[in-house]
Amino acid sequence: MTVDEHQQVIDELQAVIDDTRATMERFEAAGMDEQMPEDYDKLMELLDDAVTQQREQVMAMLG
């Protein structure tokens, strides 16, 4: 992959991270994190996966 391609993936993953965090904040504000803990856990997994993939892309771009 080129540097530009890596950057595009990094940027798209950042959008996923930002959207997921915003959803989690709305979940918490509505108390849904306690009412729907399995769904909240899935959001946490999605966030963790996106952060991990973004880190991998950064390392690949720098390497």
| Distance (Å, whole) CA 2 – CA 40 | 35
pLDDT of residue 28: 97
Tens-binned pLDDT, residue by residue, of the chain (63 aa): 999 999 999 999 999 999 999 999 999 999 999 999 999 999 999 999 999 999 999 999 998
pLDDT of residue 29: 97
pLDDT of residue 60: 95
